[in-house]
A and B are shown apart, each in its own frame.
Chain A
């Protein structure tokens, strides 16, 4: 007999989570330390990037001031300048925007594809499920960065191509993660009752299965964003992202390593920006996961 005080912690119950209201979830996420921190970091970084689009930036990201090359942080150049005399602060701002752009597209892509695949596999079962899951396993077997590499090389570097490459790599994860709750809800007694009562498949799908999946989807989307930013940075680090003069953060880090000894700010600030973005999304995603699935082992 369990000795836990009060009610025992439920494990992830897609049936129950379908009924939680959206507002209460946000509040609970905000109540947690990691949720608060993550959300604040994300908002700050996103704002930092977005304001550059309306002109709030120290200089244009591609303005070269050759006589100012490789100068350290100062009032006019908060993050210093690079070897072309470009202001790193502005470039970081644009780098953030670029990262977010690519990541959002990539995650949108893999969410749609992965969720469709997962729902289909879970809902329809049988051969469909076997085929989809087999395909997912296949994509899994290829390390995702290799896949992204091959695709980017095939399609050429660029924003959309990067997004596509990254998105395809993460889709199998969505499919797998979504399939579980779909199966669980499909087997739930109230859904079976609905079928007996003559509910159409479409009704069951939209009114019962999708809401159950939304919780786990929210968690995965957040984590996927973090992962996409990381992969995008890795790809552009390797020179496979949007080509110069685009200020992608990974490329800045790559260039920055050449000047690390004499101008550490070339390496430090873009690296910090990438890390902050990823940490923010990870923290937020963790908090979301804690809210949806308290038994995930974090007290």
Chain B
């Protein structure tokens, strides 16, 4: 899903560091890690509760959904045993507790549609989505940062104009439009149907795998690239106005050295923030793109499970998405600590 929220990017304010805090370095890092994990866990628990409740609002219940019309033919006794099996009819908190307990033991329940365990369903689908997301992120970052740096280096000239137009369209045109157009062009003009073959895992048939994933990743990557490009350009221009850039020039450094060593390095902070946000949108975007390109990923699994009222699968899949998002947040924070020395010392 292409993202419009470039205004959301908020700069992290580096916490003021105590002078001579070298001794506290180790302790500070451990404390920061602890807080981060705690926050992540709290978020996940909250997400789990929200999803649980929302799904329970669905009209109809698992049994009728899975059995369809024939549900009406069940005897009360059969109904009761099925209820018990799927945990329906018990008070909500009990259901939640049972589920959470199972979760902690690695048991996410059974799919009412396929009978497979949720864990195995997710296990098959997750690598696809993961690969798609990572590939899309890489494409987006390469596209975005290079065009952004070029646009900032020659403001007002062709590179800038081109970059900004790319950003405009990349952000505005929905990913499903890009995806649908790509599919149409590839199949009708180039007669190229990599998705007509069964999905190939990365390790079973790398070439086919890349072919199948490249265009979906490109579709998502364009949205990411557009947002990253804007942030890069803006950040580069902002940083160039800072006093230390003038200091660097004043020492006789070449334009190239100043731009790459000083400007880009500092610009990486807002770029990282935006990348983290984009990854969130990316996860949502996989839902659409997997539909269009017929990929057996988590997004597709999620849609089908919601439409079929397959609670357990829907919950599990959403939880995995949320977990992914939370992990990306942690990763982003880690990257900050890696890039910005001011963050490390807190």
Contact = CB atoms under 8 A, between A and B. Distances in A.
A binds B: yes
B2 interface: yes
Given A143-B280, A143-B283, A150-B51, A282 B156 contact: no
A144 B325 contact: no
A261 interface: yes
B322 A142 contact: yes
A297 B318 contact: no
Given A230-B4, A230-B174, A274-B177, A138 B50 contact: yes
B138 interface: no
Interface string B298-342: 000011001100000010001001100110000000000000000
A7 to B, nearest CB: 14
B199 interface: no
Contact of B172 (A155, A257, A264, A278): A278
A219 B8 CA distance: 12
Contacts of B54: 147, 150-151, 154
Interface residues of B, number: 62
Contact of A223 (B5, B46, B187, B285): B5
Nearest to B58: A154
A149 B306 contact: yes
Contacts of A149: 287, 302-303, 306
**Which of B54, B169, B174, B180 counts the most chain A CB atoms within 10 A?**
B174
Nearest to B160: A299
Contacts of B8: 173, 176-177
Given A146-B321, A173-B5, A299-B155, A138 B55 contact: no
Contacts of A253: 176-177, 180
B325 A141 contact: yes
Interface in A219-256: 219-220, 223, 226-227, 230-231, 233-234, 237-238, 250, 253-254, 256
A45 interface: no
A289 interface: yes
B127 interface: no
A151 B181 CA distance: 28
Nearest to A282: B172
B168 A237 contact: no
**Which of A237, A250, A295, A297 counts the most chain B CB atoms within 10 A?**
A297
Query: Lowest 9 CB-CB distances: which A-B pairs, in order?
Result: A297-B234, A143-B284, A145-B284, A260-B184, A279-B172, A278-B172, A227-B4, A138-B46, A261-B188
10 contacts: A138-B50, A141-B46, A143-B283, A146-B321, A149-B287, A153-B307, A233-B174, A237-B288, A264-B184, A278-B174
